[in-house]
Amino acid sequence: MKSRSSVLSATRIGQAEFRWGERTYVMGICNLSPDSFSGDGLGSDIEATLAQARRMVQEGADIIDVGGESTRPGTKPQTVDDIDDELRLVIPAIERLAGEITVPISIDTYKYSVASRALKAGASMINDIWALQRDPRLAPLAAEHNVPIILMSNQREAPAADIMPTIIADLKRAIQQATEAGVPAHNIIVDPGISFGKSLEQNLEIIRRLGELRTLGKPILLGSSRKSMIGLVLNLPADQRLEGTAATLAIGIANGADIVRVHDVKQMVRVCRMSDVIIRRRT
User: Average model confidence (pLDDT) for the chain?
Assistant: 92
3-state secondary structure of 22: coil
pLDDT tens-place string over residues 173-232: 999 999 999 999 999 999 999 999 999 999 999 999 999 999 999 999 999 999 999 999
Task: Show which residues are catalytic.
Answer: 227, 261
Amino acid 80: pLDDT: 44
pLDDT tens-place string over residues 159-176: 999 999 999 999 999 999
% pLDDT > 90, the chain: 84
Amino acid 5: pLDDT: 61
Q: Which CATH code fits 21-279?
A: 3.20.20.20
Which sequence spans correspond to the domains of the chain? 21-279
Amino acid 102: pLDDT: 94
Backbone angles phi, psi at 222, to 5 degrees: -115, 125
Amino acid 37: pLDDT: 47
Q: Is the pLDDT of residue 1 over 50?
A: no
Own/partner pairs, 174-180, CB within 8 angstroms, 24+ separation: 174/131, 174/132, 174/133, 175/151, 175/216, 175/218, 177/132, 177/136, 177/139, 178/132, 178/139, 178/142, 178/143, 178/149, 178/151, 180/139
Count of C-beta atoms within a 10 Å radius of residue 169: 12
pLDDT tens-place string over residues 40-61: 556 778 899 999 999 999 999 9
Give the predicted TM-score (pTM) of the model: 0.93
Residues forming beta bridges with residue 274, ordered by sequence position: none
Own/partner pairs, 115-118, CB within 8 angstroms, 24+ separation: 115/141, 116/141, 117/87, 117/91, 118/66, 118/90, 118/91, 118/94
